[in-house]
Amino acid sequence: GRTSANRSLLMLNIALFGPPGAGKGTQSEFLIEKYNLFYISTGDLLRKEIANHTKLGLEAQSIIASGGLVSDEIIVQIIEKTITDNPQSNGFLFDGFPRTYIQAYILEGLMLKLNTSLNCLISLAVPEEVSVERLMNRGMTSGRSDDNESVIRNRLKEYNQKTLPVLQFYRDKGIYVEVDGTAGIDQVHDRITEIIRNELSKSLFNVVLFG
């Protein structure tokens, strides 16, 4: 109906993109609060599966430990339920997803099912050496077994080979925005806020025209 169509148009769905250590998690914290978004980090969901000793967690565990990407099948299983269980949220914030072309298509389908779409993909750009340095530092306190140098190198290799090409998908759709991820936390925050403000005024415009 009219109301649910308006609702879908007003949903704010954002994906944060970037190499490990780009600051996606840090920026997510303020974004979910500020815009009341439902946070979906596939990395967090996988670590939860591992902690709960589920079949899925067991399957993913060794791949995560080596710094590889887990299969798209596993990702679909953890993400589909989370999205379809929360259709009434203000919108979704995706952190670390999509990471492959197949995942990008899966996301399209899931958004379509909710009568909505991804507003924009915000890429936090940082050079490889900055990523490595930040992750090594994080490793001293994160307790994450994949925050050590050889695994970090493999995560970056996977990122460059499989994830970086996904940017073209979003460039072609015209919803890709790049932010300098080496800037300070507050500066990155301000830049993202500016991007989202722009997105919100666009969707409000759509509601007025088509709602």
Name the residues that contact ligand AMP, by CB under 6 A.
20, 42-43, 46, 63-64, 67-70, 75, 96-97, 99, 103, 146, 155
For ligand AMP, the closer of residues 10 and 63 by Cβ is 63
In whole angstroms, what is the distance from residue 22 CA to residue 132 CA? 10
Contact between residue 124 and residue 70 where contact means Cβ atoms under 8 Å apart: no
In whole angstroms, what is the distance from residue 151 CA to residue 51 CA? 20
Of 114, 151, 115, whose CA–CA distance to 132 is shortest? 151
Quote the tokens at residue 210.
């088509």
For ligand AMP, the closer of residues 9 and 60 by Cβ is 60
CB of 98 to ligand AMP, least distance (A): 6
As beta bridge partners, residue 15 has 94, 121
CB of 37 to ligand AMP, least distance (A): 17
For ligand AMP, the closer of residues 7 and 95 by Cβ is 95
Which amino acid belongs to residue 175? I
CB of 36 to ligand AMP, least distance (A): 22
Taking the CA of residue 18 as centre, how many other CA atoms within 13 Å lie in the half-sphere pointing to its CB?
26
CB of 146 to ligand AMP, least distance (A): 6
In whole angstroms, what is the distance from residue 211 CA to residue 195 CA? 23
CB of 51 to ligand AMP, least distance (A): 13
Do β-strands 92-95 and 176-180 pair in parallel, antiparallel, or remain unpaired?
Answer: unpaired
As beta bridge partners, residue 41 has 95
For ligand AMP, the closer of residues 69 and 120 by Cβ is 69
For ligand AMP, the closer of residues 8 and 103 by Cβ is 103
Cβ-closest residue to ligand AMP? 43
